[in-house]
Amino acid sequence: MTQSTISFSPIGIIHSEHTVAKETPIQPTYAKGCRGTVEIFPEFTKGLQDLAGFSHLYLVTHLNQAPEPQLIVKPFLQDIPRGVFSTRAPCRPNAIGLSIVELVGIEGSTLLLDSVDILDGTPLLDVKPYCAKFDLIENTRNGWQDEVDEATAQKLGLREYEANK
């Protein structure tokens, strides 16, 4: 097997209130009320047609401020070393991020969002609509995450965010 280089160019830029990684909510579920926008570059604006009918979007991003890649990490919600691919840690071999955010509105080439857990200035690689018909999977297994009590996760996620706000 040979390695090849893959190249992507941003289609836009994300603007948010988050400027420091450790002060940013760890996931969109803990970012309710965190507003942001996506500025879609002019050459991609036509691609926004028909997007307004969706309530949520997947944002595929380049984690341009991610730390050096690590294969073993201590995830935020546990103090146990885990393989990076079983976490959502940003220090991945390919610094690609994925967030599901709420689409509040569209003004020209700007997407208005809520539940933004993304650093200001993050390059946007792609937008995809969230569609429960295709994306909702019930009765899932969530690996080690099933060991994390939701009340604890909520408290940790909100406490970290509020402490650093």
Identify the residue with better confidence: 160 or 153: 153
Assigned CATH topology for domain 12-132+142-164: Elongation Factor Tu (Ef-tu); domain 3 (2.40.30)
Domain boundaries, the chain: 12-132+142-164
Tokens read off for 156: 């940790």
Query: In this predicted model, what pLDDT tens digit does every residue of 70-116 receive, in sequence order?
Result: 899 887 767 889 899 888 788 899 999 999 999 999 999 999 999 88
User: CA 43, CA 45: separation in Å to the nearest integer?
Assistant: 6
Look up the pTM and report it. 0.81
Question: What's the half-sphere exposure (Cβ side, CA atoms, 13 Å) at 69?
Answer: 7
Q: What is the pLDDT of residues 86-98, one digit of tens each?
A: 887 888 999 999 9
* pLDDT category of residue 157 using cuts at 50, 70 and 90: low
